[in-house]
C-alpha cells in the first residue's frame, strides 16, 4: 500500500449528542496508531480508551476507516482523532532468511506514518 505523505493526520468533529460514527479520513496501520480525545466547551481535553470509549473499523485502515464512540459526544464537545503511531521498529530480519515483501511494505508504511506525524508536530513549533 502506498501512503500519501501529504495526507492529513488529524480530524475534528463537533458533537451533537446523537452521532456516534465518525470517518477516519487518513491511513493507519493499527488501532494503536490513533489517539482519540474529546474536548469540552471549557477546553478540557480527555483522552479516550480504545475498546472502552470507542471502537475502530477496520483494525488496519490503510484507506482510512470509521470510529464509533460508546457514547455520542455531547453538544459543543469536539471529538479529536489524530494519527500518533508508537515509534518502534517491529520487523525482525534474519540473515539469509526469506524476505516477506508484504511485511517489509507494512514496516515502510509505518515509517512513513511516523515521519508524517513528526513533520506535522515540528511544523507547529
DSSP state of 32: G
Q: For 107-125, how does the pLDDT look when each residue is reduced to its tens digit (9 = 90+)?
A: 999 999 999 999 988 987 7
pLDDT at residue 86 greater than cutoff 80: yes
What integer best gives the mean pLDDT of the chain?
A: 92
Q: What are phi and psi of 109, to 5 degrees?
A: -60, -45
* CA angle (50 as vertex; 57, 75 as ends), nearest 5: 90
Among the residue ranges 13-27, 44-58, 65-79, 81-95, the one predicted with the least confidence is 81-95
**Is 2 domain-assigned?**
no
Count of CA atoms in the C-beta half-sphere (13 A) of 59? 1
**Is 1 domain-assigned?**
no
pLDDT at residue 1 greater than cutoff 80: no
Domain that holds residue 33: 10-123
**Is 5 domain-assigned?**
no
**Is 42 domain-assigned?**
yes
Q: How many structural domains compose the chain?
A: 1
**Is 4 domain-assigned?**
no
Amino acid at each position: 500500500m502506498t501512503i500519501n505523505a501529504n495526507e492529513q493526520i488529524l480530524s475534528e468533529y463537533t458533537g451533537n449528542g446523537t452521532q456516534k460514527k465518525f470517518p477516519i479520513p487518513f491511513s493507519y496501520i493499527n488501532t494503536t496508531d490513533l489517539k482519540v480525545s474529546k474536548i469540552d466547551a471549557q477546553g478540557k481535553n480527555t483522552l479516550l480508551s480504545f475498546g472502552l470509549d470507542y471502537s475502530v473499523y477496520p483494525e488496519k485502515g490503510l484507506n482510512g476507516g470509521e470510529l464509533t464512540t460508546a457514547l455520542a459526544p455531547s453538544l459543543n464537545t469536539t471529538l479529536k482523532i489524530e494519527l500518533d503511531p508508537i515509534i518502534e521498529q517491529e520487523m525482525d530480519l534474519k540473515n539469509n532468511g526469506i524476505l516477506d515483501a508484504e511485511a517489509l511494505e507494512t514496516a515502510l508504511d509505518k515509517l512513513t506514518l511516523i515521519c508524517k506525524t513528526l513533520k506535522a508536530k515540528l511544523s507547529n513549533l
